[in-house]
Structure 1
């Protein structure tokens, strides 16, 4: 039986205000963390995005802060400006009319404006490490009255190289404080941070709900040899036709190149990465949430601040280095009881990595081949048929009937309808398909769902044995996987032994 927010220890006033903004029942992590934080305990929370952790740390802080004291009493550190904006917006909503004030400080916005906001007084500061340090050094931000310290997405701070900055900031805060750390994963470096700066913390863990994977249709498209992923993605997108999608890539350069390629093909898509200005990011977020842009190509770090309701698809253009990141990505779809689809592009040398991910989520992916030209055309015709059926019940149909009555004296009615459909189809048919792009003309045999493992160097179903696999994509085997080496950048891999067959390096995305 689920508890109410008031039963967790929040005031009646806070519980009523939460109900007014649509928070009727606490999530798992909120039920675990809120009572501990209200009781004065340090908390370590391990949970994925979308579990409600922002409210889990925000509500106890807001409940305990002194509204009459204008000094900074709570500091929330986030790895990216997007997440800082998101957390600040959520906390401002939770604050309501209580009289408390929260300020967001991050790079990409005028520091003078942020200094002015701090001078006016704020009890809560949400910021990125770099800008927080800048303001500390200028003397515009003081932490001597801080009673609460929160590290959000600590694993991303580690991957972005912010841990030294985080330690520097923590060392300037009073030792008599409450500290909460939230992270999707818990690598050893984060554990060391916990042991150093948290006081006998309570650990709360929210695993990916068992029902969630069943609501996410996980699909893998197998990339043919000598094909680039960019070439394979276009027919996949035409076949799947995502309503809204996040397309994950490794690098900013890939994000920019892939976006240009898809825009040239006439798709509604834009890029989202660290090279964009803050103004450009906020503008894109608004357009994406308002469905003015259907798809966004993003890097993992930048996408931490991208939270869109009812996302229909997540597409892994590049497989991530860790299973935790994969789960974090696909967890953005299939929320709130809705079904979602997670599509992954898998190259031959990534088949074993695919199996590792499958075992982790305990669900086999549906393995598909690149859609053929005939399949894509059939999909478009089926879609057109649905549009025609919808138009038959529309109000504008009557205005076209006189044209048909006039033409039917000279042409067959069926021929007229077929000609109209042909015109409509040709106008909506993708330009790249008309240009004669090299697509499979016949549907390939369905791939086997499992791949038998052989230790004698035989075929794994990816065209090479165990030794060949490691030489081509994962030199050093398991050690390279843990170190998170980029599978697509095989220029850093030593030349394989002459007797072993090597895979060709994938050409540029635009090639």
Structure 2
């Protein structure tokens, strides 16, 4: 039996708005969390991307907001301004009440503009911990009337070093409040925070299928010393030639820079980030699903709003800080019974992270050097042969036969075909691959071990070691 939003206890106005948006069936986390939150309970939710947790906490919250009161009644903390923007936009979408005011407060944006927005009055504040602390210290943000606090992507706030700020904010919020904490993973510091600040919370969990190495081929490439990852990525992409790839980077700035470099090299690639409007995000997602954009560069946070089933490759341009995040990333490929490929680029100082990942997936991952020029050229010739076979089975080929017939009086037909292939091959030479391109050979480190000389009988033993 499929549950409906009506069965969860939402108001008729909320259900009508959801129907207008095309939402008809609640997700698992919504089925579990919404009744608990409507009943006034604190909630701890563990779920991954694409599970609908924003609606899970937003819909019950909107039922309780008094739009006649311009004081801040709900505070939502997120790790990044991209996610804060996404959450604020989603809440606006879920509400049909024009009196509702939502203010986003994040670093990297004008504080004075945010202060003016708060002074005009807002029922909901969505922000990053650092900027919320700044506004609290300046007394421009008051939590006296707050009855809802949501921690969204708590594990990301932990990994970014915001956990102390989060605790400070929770201490300043009214004791009589409802608190929800959502996190993809539950490391010990998050569990400790939950135990301290949430009151007898209901726990809701959405099990994600674990990434199974049998259907996900994991490859690791070592970045040569003196090379940037951007330089190392080009020959890897040339060799792998992903049909549809999601490339993970650490920061929004890195996403923008890498996207520009790949576009300049002639690749079909775009950047997905939280500053895109809802219509821009939907348009990019539609183009990606249709194959009009082959690769998308995104951070972990932004990618949580990007869910597609046809990914052939997941590329870890930057390894995540949390091993669990690696599992979640690569689990995006290899779906629907298909085989997926997960590629990771690592620098020499990231070997420790790789060891942690290997322990988690319980297998040793082979580390390969960057593809050589001969490997890339061999791959290009294979692709050229594939294109040639397609052309031989096409109808347009017939229009070129008179040219070959005329030239055959002077040249051998094999030589004509080879010359034509050479022209095509030269014209498709990647712009990034200079004539002297060749990655350096990475030699294994020689570890010098000290061998102590045997002590003579007359020597005094040294017990200080």
Q: Out of 299, 302, 307, which is 1:305 matched to?
A: 302
| Matching of residue 130 in structure 1 with residue 130 in structure 2 | yes
Q: Distance in 1 between matches of 2:249 and 2:18?
A: 37
Q: Distance in 2 between matches of 1:101 and 1:124?
A: 7
| Alpha-carbon spacing, 1:16–1:425, altered in 2? closer, same or farther (3 Å) | farther
Partner of 1:218: 217
Q: For residues 428-448 of structure 1, give each alpha carbon's deviation from its aligned partner in whole angstroms, at most 9, with x where no partner exists.
A: 23355562433799xxxxxxx
| Alpha-carbon spacing, 1:409–1:84, altered in 2? closer, same or farther (3 Å) | same
Question: Residue 82 of structure 1: CA displacement?
Answer: 1.0
Question: Residue 329 of structure 1: CA displacement?
Answer: 3.0
Larger Rg, first or second structure (1 or 2): 2
Q: Provide TM-score, normalisation by structure 2.
A: 0.74
| Matching of residue 112 in structure 1 with residue 112 in structure 2 | yes
| Matching of residue 188 in structure 1 with residue 188 in structure 2 | yes
Check the 8 A contact 2:27/2:52 in 1, yes or no. Answer: yes
| Alpha-carbon spacing, 1:434–1:426, altered in 2? closer, same or farther (3 Å) | farther
Partner of 2:407: 410
Check the 8 A contact 1:371/1:440 in 2, yes or no. Answer: no
Q: Provide TM-score, normalisation by structure 1.
A: 0.69
Alignment of 1:458-477 (within 5 A): none
| Alpha-carbon spacing, 1:80–1:331, altered in 2? closer, same or farther (3 Å) | farther
Q: Distance in 2 between matches of 1:214 and 1:25?
A: 32
Question: Residue 419 of structure 1: CA displacement?
Answer: 3.5
Alignment of 1:268-417 (within 5 A): 303-306=300-303, 307-310=305-308, 312-333=312-333, 340-345=340-345, 357-358=357-358, 360-361=360-361, 371=371, 373=373, 375-387=375-387, 405-406=402-403, 408-411=405-408, 416-417=416-417
Question: Residue 373 of structure 1: CA displacement?
Answer: 4.9
Question: Residue 40 of structure 1: CA displacement?
Answer: 0.8
Q: Distance in 1 between matches of 2:6 and 2:277?
A: 37
| Alpha-carbon spacing, 1:336–1:50, altered in 2? closer, same or farther (3 Å) | farther
Question: Residue 180 of structure 1: CA displacement?
Answer: 0.4
Alignment of 1:155-304 (within 5 A): 155-210=155-210, 213=212, 217-221=216-220, 223=222, 230=229, 233-243=233-243, 245-248=245-248, 303-304=300-301
Q: Distance in 2 between matches of 1:122 and 1:316?
A: 39
Question: Residue 33 of structure 1: CA displacement?
Answer: 1.5
Q: Secondary structure at the match of 1:34?
A: helix
Q: Distance in 2 between matches of 1:73 and 1:17?
A: 22
Check the 8 A contact 1:229/1:317 in 2, yes or no. Answer: no
Q: Distance in 1 between matches of 2:123 and 2:389?
A: 58
Partner of 1:458: none
Q: Distance in 1 between matches of 2:69 and 2:263?
A: 52
Q: For residues 196-249 of structure 1, give each alpha carbon's deviation from its aligned partner in whole angstroms, at most 9, with x where no partner exists.
A: 221111122233224x54796231236499897847644322121234544446
Alignment of 1:4-15 (within 5 A): 4-15=4-15
Partner of 2:44: 44
Q: Distance in 1 between matches of 2:98 and 2:251?
A: 43
Question: Residue 143 of structure 1: CA displacement?
Answer: 1.9
Q: Distance in 2 between matches of 1:110 and 1:253?
A: 19
Question: Tell me, which stretches of 5 or more residues in structure 2 are unaligned?
Answer: 453-465
Question: Residue 136 of structure 1: CA displacement?
Answer: 3.0
Q: Secondary structure at the match of 2:8?
A: coil
Deviates more, 1:164-173 or 1:212-221: 212-221
Partner of 2:82: 82
Check the 8 A contact 1:215/1:334 in 2, yes or no. Answer: no
| Alpha-carbon spacing, 1:27–1:149, altered in 2? closer, same or farther (3 Å) | same
Alignment of 1:448-487 (within 5 A): none
Question: Tell me, which stretches of 5 or more residues in structure 1 are unaligned?
Answer: 442-461, 469-495, 501-511
Report the count of equivalent residues. 439
Question: Residue 80 of structure 1: CA displacement?
Answer: 0.8
Q: Secondary structure at the match of 2:131?
A: helix
Check the 8 A contact 1:81/1:305 in 2, yes or no. Answer: no
